[in-house]
Structure 1
Amino acid sequence: MDKSNLEHANYVRIPGSERTALPSARKIGSAEPNEQMSVTVLVRRPSITNIKPSQSRFLSREQFAADHSIDPEDLKKVEQFSHEHGLEIKEINVAAGTIVLTGSILDFSKAFDVELTNYEHTDFTYRGREGHVHIPEDLADIIEAVVGLDNRPQAIPHFRILEETEPFARSNAAKPSFTPPEVAQLYNFPSDINCNDQCIGIIELGGGYRSDDLETYFNSLGIPSPTITDVSIGGKKNQPTGDPNGPDGEVVLDIEIAAAVAPGARIAVYFAPNTDAGFLRAITTAIHDNVSKPSVISISWGNAESRWTLQAMKAMNRAFQDAAALGITICCASGDTGSSDGINDGLVHVDFPASSPYVLGCGGTRLEGSNHTITNEVVWNEGIDSGTGGGVSHVFDLPSWQEKAHVPPSANPGSRAGRGVPDVAGNADPATGYEVLVDGRRFIIGGTSAVAPLWAGLIAIINQKLGRSVGFVNPVLYSLSPEGKAFHDITIGNNDTDHGTGPYPSQAGWDACTGLGSPDGTQLMKELITRYS
């Protein structure tokens, strides 16, 4: 490990912690030294091994905490380090391996040997840093990541508003959009299962919902309003802004789709700051929540892998591995800007956290049909920067369960072999989108943000019917025979939203646009019940 050339000779770099300024951002001065802030430290724990899909028994949260918590001696060393630098320990999650520290910017700058500076971007200002984070050499094997020193917005919501619409109920003869139950009907979701034993966790990094909107919306569908629990993280809470085009649109879309397609399921919404530290804490809080105990978690926020530090991705991936051991399914939107993922550098990119090998990456289609009949379904691609994300990870290796899926090498120079994204798909085109009610107004909304809660709802239904969680389901999905007809194979289109053709066309079997395809919910449930029984 390289020694730091900065103030402390006995300090070393945290691998993968380097940051650069955002494009179009400029320094506007040093951060106020006495300003208070918080940082999340990820500490090593006993490793998790031998995670098996369809295993008969996942670890309970209590057993996980007993077997995989922070070593008390490691905790003492981090506590001593914090005390020596005037930092206060605000929160310890021994199961997740996270420690939240608070203190002044000056104390954090000295403790981690960084220079914190204020930056002005075209859309916001943020506290940032450049280069690596440093820690004492005797903590190098104990501290795996330090996130939160930089508080730039980390993720973007993956939804697209088409239009405001009045009324919801329109003639089926010319109906381009759907209510969530209508999409569930087209995908043949089981319709007679009450998910009263299930909790769906939803991660949100801003915005909020209005209870009266939800009451009105679910009444219009003839579905009881779900029981919703709000979980506040880092001071963030349910706080609607009144702007449907902002985070409110994401929050409400997620809740209304998940609860509408999985009636009876409880909803736990985890509100956190939109930073790498906030995102990590939201995920670890949801996964290790001993109160709501979600069996499936929906995440509709993300960003291109190149916009993350490697340490943050590894920290979140470790949390997703925890979820796999606990039998929790994580559904993540794959992005809404095609194979570039919104990075205009002439290369292709995939979205994280959808690229984690421990999550179910959810891509998008354009769906047409009525009642139980799909008349047409193709890759969602509307052109410039509007289409399903997907491709090959430049961070995560090809998982063993994707080895027979014919994942192509990356289209970037070097042709890297990596984890293919997405795994599955569902209706995402705003032109065939979902009718929702947000901030008192009716909209048609699409995006892969809609697909993550759609799949989360389907997993909740299957969990309820099975009487246990399917958990880390990816290896099982990839092993299913096409004869089982659990998926609608999407073979028309591509996700190059800039040039009309591209390196990742749809094709028979898995592809980097729609994965294995969109679901036949009832057939998939039958297949999984057979595998898990």
Structure 2
Amino acid sequence: MANHPLNGSERECLKDAQPIGKADPNERLEVTMLVRRRSHDAFEKHISALAAQGASAKHIDHDEFTKHFGADSADLAAVHAFAQKHGLSVVESHEARRAVVLSGTVAQFDAAFGVSLQQYEHDGGTYRGRTGPIHLPDELNGVVDAVMGLDNRPQARPSFRTRAQGNVRWTARAAGASTFTPVQLASLYDFPQGDGQNQCIGIIELGGGYRPADLKTYFASLNMKAPSVTAVSVDHGRNHPTGDPNGPDGEVMLDIEVAGAVAPGAKIVVYFAPNTDAGFIDAIGTAIHDTKNKPSVISISWGGPESAWTQQAMNAFDQAFQSAAALGVTICAASGDNGSGDGVGDGADHVDFPASSPYALGCGGTSLQASGNGIASETVWNDGANGGATGGGVSSFFALPAWQEGLRVTRAGGAHSPLAMRGVPDVAGNADPVTGYEVRVDGHDMVIGGTSAVAPLWAGLIARINAIKGAPVGYINPHLYKDPLALVDITKGNNDDFHATAGWDACTGLGRPDGKKVKDAVS
């Protein structure tokens, strides 16, 4: 009998949603179950040592990771037996990812997990969802960490903004503003000489697609060879261009073009998944444990406010990012484009997840003005409520990491207070659409900004550093905080409730990169 509530699995319906009836009992769906890690205590010690050792840290290979820190075979067998008992099919089972994907009907999953799946209607459409917790039987209590996929609401949004269209504030500034190719920004940020040869950059996408002809045209315009780009399907997601350059295609093409231009020669693998909590975590897990392509850095430009996530989901992502750290894979995540409130609209401060995970490199946004071959000024990106602003603030979920201890956060009016929880972002880069990135999407040459551009910019820098070093730098957050002079501090501007200040702040983190110094700090 399913009688143990799964800790952190509680769901509420979207605030503007109304139930319109029971979900079709015959509808088929797939659900991802994540089991506990083998040797949890040993893994915690390994991660702590990794953070402390810096450039001398030893990453482990995939086989060693699976052997020591994957799922225990007995736990996977327990999930398989549970599935058989309830007539559910095992679609996939992954020891390294600690994941089992099950297929069945709504009626079967209702009975298996003690839930009642409903159809909900809201301003954005309809979704299948539930309220309250998921329940587990005795034999899985304490074995299963998360169950995702019962609810198929859109979980995340892309963090990109196209250049001004009728925004008075933007238009007034745009007259004297320059836009940039990724290559020009890499030069302005003094990225080290080199390329991305023998590196793979993973990119997570939850919709949209790319057209090879556009990539060929774009990179030819930069006098560069187009990168090798491979699409990987996760949970039936696929490369599916919509033809709308202002839709998710803009995100996909921005990510590929920025990363590919900054790290020429790197292989790019795009993991396409449905925009659900299950699709998102499965894409990340697939990328981290991809033993064929072996990305050394992963760029994530999708996210949402922490308040929109279940605790079990945030824990599951955080554990996946810890696995990435152990394997030497760097995670770069956009901090969002909706200022200190992250678009929630309740008057409170919110940070964007997954950028708020301490094992992700949270990437915030600036507005950059160039003069000749140099930077004339750089401030916090904030174009107001309609124009967008860099996300940033203080997590309400993740504890203060050791490498952020002693920092202070500056709020509106100049009030300072000790940073008590995980602060976001860690680093920054140009994100203002007015001074944005020249890209090509669905046959259109466009200018796009947003923190979505900063994540692949940093991913490209890290791929270039990995190529120079001949080994992955991996989890770099602690090392950047030990050597903050590797970044150029941004001290002017705000993202509404938080203000830039000398040192780390909740707008641009430690600052924008000085590429050569970043290489030295993490090598």
TM-score by length of 1: 0.92
In 2, the alpha carbon distance for the partners of 1:286 and 1:20 equals: 30
The corresponding residue for 1:453 is: 456
In 2, the alpha carbon distance for the partners of 1:476 and 1:60 equals: 22
Alignment of 1:62-141 (within 5 A): 62-141=63-142
In 2, the alpha carbon distance for the partners of 1:249 and 1:76 equals: 42
Any idea what SS the aligned residue of 1:387 has? coil
In 1, the alpha carbon distance for the partners of 2:14 and 2:336 equals: 20
Q: Percent identity?
A: 56
Return 5+ residue gaps in structure 2 as ranges.
166-174
The corresponding residue for 2:330 is: 329
Aligned: 1:512 with 2:506: yes
In 1, the alpha carbon distance for the partners of 2:283 and 2:372 equals: 37
The corresponding residue for 2:282 is: 281
Structure 1 segments (4+ residues) deviating >4 Å: 407-411
In 2, the alpha carbon distance for the partners of 1:522 and 1:196 equals: 18
The corresponding residue for 1:466 is: 469
Query: Is the contact made by 1:343 and 1:349 (CA closer than 8 Å) also made in structure 2?
Result: yes
Q: Which amino acid aligns with 2:187?
A: Q
1:52-104 CA distance string (max 9 Å, x none) = 14244201011111111211111111111110101010001110101000001
The corresponding residue for 2:294 is: 293
Report the Cα offset of residue 332 of structure 1. 0.2
In 2, the alpha carbon distance for the partners of 1:175 and 1:303 equals: 30
Q: 1:441 aligns with which of 444, 449, 455?
A: 444
Q: Which amino acid aligns with 1:449?
A: S
**Aligned pairs, number:** 502
Report the Cα offset of residue 467 of structure 1. 1.1
Alignment of 1:1-12 (within 5 A): 8=1, 11-12=3-4
Q: Which amino acid aligns with 2:493?
A: G
In 2, the alpha carbon distance for the partners of 1:175 and 1:182 equals: 15
1:304-332 CA distance string (max 9 Å, x none) = 00000000010111000000000100000
In 2, the alpha carbon distance for the partners of 1:153 and 1:371 equals: 43
Q: Which region of structure 1 is more displaced relative to structure 2, 51-60 or 437-446?
A: 51-60
Q: Which amino acid aligns with 2:426?
A: D
In 1, the alpha carbon distance for the partners of 2:73 and 2:522 equals: 40
Task: Give the CA RMSD over aligned residues.
Answer: 1.9
Any idea what SS the aligned residue of 2:397 has? coil
Q: Which amino acid aligns with 1:121?
A: H
In 2, the alpha carbon distance for the partners of 1:135 and 1:408 equals: 44
The corresponding residue for 2:423 is: 420
Report the Cα offset of residue 230 of structure 1. 0.8
Any idea what SS the aligned residue of 1:445 has? strand
Q: Which amino acid aligns with 1:436?
A: V
The corresponding residue for 1:272 is: 273
Aligned: 1:491 with 2:515: no
Report the Cα offset of residue 375 of structure 1. 0.1
1:442-477 CA distance string (max 9 Å, x none) = 111000000000000000111111111110000000
Report the Cα offset of residue 350 of structure 1. 0.2
Query: Is the contact made by 1:70 and 1:97 (CA closer than 8 Å) also made in structure 2?
Result: yes
Alignment of 1:392-407 (within 5 A): 392-407=394-409
The corresponding residue for 1:188 is: 190
The corresponding residue for 2:171 is: none
The corresponding residue for 1:390 is: 392
1:183-237 CA distance string (max 9 Å, x none) = 11111112x3131111000000000000000000000001110001110011111
The corresponding residue for 1:20 is: 12
The corresponding residue for 1:475 is: 478
In 2, the alpha carbon distance for the partners of 1:317 and 1:12 equals: 23
Whose helix fraction is larger, Structure 1's or Structure 2's? 2
In 2, the alpha carbon distance for the partners of 1:176 and 1:314 equals: 41
Report the Cα offset of residue 407 of structure 1. 4.5
Given the superposition, is the C-alpha separation of residues 54 and 407 from structure 1 closer, same or farther in structure 2, using an over 3 Å criterion?
farther
In 2, the alpha carbon distance for the partners of 1:104 and 1:383 equals: 46
1:233-275 CA distance string (max 9 Å, x none) = 1111101000111110000000000000111111010000000
Alignment of 1:33-48 (within 5 A): 33-46=25-38, 47=40, 48=43
Q: Which region of structure 1 is more displaced relative to structure 2, 304-313 or 137-146?
A: 137-146
Report the Cα offset of residue 138 of structure 1. 2.5
Report the Cα offset of residue 405 of structure 1. 3.0
Any idea what SS the aligned residue of 1:102 has? strand
Report the Cα offset of residue 524 of structure 1. 1.7
Return 5+ residue gaps in structure 1 as ranges.
1-7, 165-172, 497-501
Q: Which region of structure 1 is more displaced relative to structure 2, 369-378 or 430-439?
A: 369-378
In 2, the alpha carbon distance for the partners of 1:262 and 1:405 equals: 33
Q: Which region of structure 1 is more displaced relative to structure 2, 94-103 or 54-63?
A: 54-63
